[in-house]
Amino acid sequence: MYKHTFLILTLMLSLFSCKKVTKDPNEKLNVVTTTSMITDMVKNIGGNVIELQGLMGNGVDPHLYKASEGDVTKLVNADVIFYNGLHLEGKLEEVFEKMRHQNIKTIAISDVIDKSTLISSEYFASSYDPHIWFDINNWKLAIQFTTEKLKEIDPKNAETYEKNSKAYLAKLSTLQQDILQKITSLAPEKRILVTAHDAFNYFGKAYQFNVVGLQGLSTATEAGVQDVQKLAAFIIEKNVKAIFVESSVPKRTIEALQAAVKSKGHEVTIGGTLYSDALGNPDTVEGTYVGMFTYNVKTIIDALQ
Ligand SMILES: [Zn+2]
């Protein structure tokens, strides 16, 4: 299936060179994004002056995501592609590499973040934890970077991008204040966040949470029985009240953990579902970055309080 997609991509890329010449300069900039976090960001910056297509919807796991034939068409027709990078979109990396060789603008938003501030990880080929959006300061840098790239590529709308970007950054500053206020109400010893996979390390670093993921940083490897037993012992030792399911990861792993705690004669509740690698339904508040963050923090605080 993947090989087949790749063949189509190669074929379409050869047609692409003809298409590029015929592009009408008055047409809207055609932007393609990968994760729903990036789609929401670009939507906020580009507003109605761009044509925007996000590849990954709600509940989609970027670690496992493969490009469909429809995606390949979207990618080939894009004026610019924004993606997370740091091997978050592990299975698309090869496709992006190919695009880059064909001079399609392919931009990894994580490129802007100083490597010294990234969390190291042995699990990714990049050597870094790719879940950068859970530190709002990182996301602000990514917004500024994306804005600059859009201004460069589409200078006629530079003013719009700049204006939208400023307004969005202000929203994120308000979000930061709100979150800090909520988290301060939770005692430091209660700040233990157990989730399906290690998506929340940047969140933990920013707000002093001890973060433990059952599946490690990527969902590509399943948790073993030993991992479950070890984590169950940790939960009992630290007297953790609640553990969390993630919207983009099957909940059976967290349920297995809950059962393991129970088998040792203890109780741990499932504190709710957190949005980790994808936003909520686009028609809901949680379908935005700001809404997702607010919801996650409320869910965590309510369950651990
Ligand atoms: Zn992840």
Render pLDDT for 172-219 as a digit per residue (tens, 0 to 9): 999 999 999 999 999 999 999 999 888 999 999 999 999 998 886 667
290 Cα: distance to centroid of ligand 1 (angstroms):
19
What dihedral do alpha carbons 226, 232, 238, 242 form, nearest 10°?
140
User: Please, are residues 194 and 214 in contact by the beta-carbon 8 Å criterion?
Assistant: yes
At 219-233, the pLDDT tens digits run 766 677 788 999 999
Give me the percent of the chain exceeding a pLDDT of 90.
77
Give me the percent of the chain exceeding a pLDDT of 70.
90
Q: Which of 168, 110, 166, 165 is nearest to 135 (CA)?
A: 110
Distance CA 136, CA 82 (A): 18
129 Cα: distance to centroid of ligand 1 (angstroms):
9
* Helix or strand run (H / E) with residue 80: strand 80-83
Amino acid 18: pLDDT = 44
211 Cα: distance to centroid of ligand 1 (angstroms):
13
194 Cα: distance to centroid of ligand 1 (angstroms):
14
Pairing of strands 192-195, 29-33: unpaired
Phi, psi of 269 (to 5 degrees): -90, 160
Amino acid 278: pLDDT = 96
Domains of the chain: 2-20+27-177 (3.40.50.1980), 181-304 (3.40.50.1980)
Q: Where are the alpha helices (DSSP H) in 89-224?
A: 93-101, 136-153, 158-184, 201-207
Distance CA 22, CA 44 (A): 29
At 264-297, the pLDDT tens digits run 999 999 999 999 999 999 999 999 999 999 999 9
At 9-48, the pLDDT tens digits run 666 665 554 445 456 777 999 999 999 999 999 999 999 9
177 Cα: distance to centroid of ligand 1 (angstroms):
25
Amino acid 1: pLDDT = 45
175 Cα: distance to centroid of ligand 1 (angstroms):
22
pTM: 0.91
At 99-142, the pLDDT tens digits run 888 888 999 999 999 999 999 988 777 789 999 999 999 999 99
Neighbours of 129 (CB within 10 A): 23
When computed from its CA atoms, the radius of gyration of the chain, rounded to whole angstroms, is 20
For helices 93-101 and 2-21, the axis angle rounded to 10 degrees is: 30
117 Cα: distance to centroid of ligand 1 (angstroms):
18
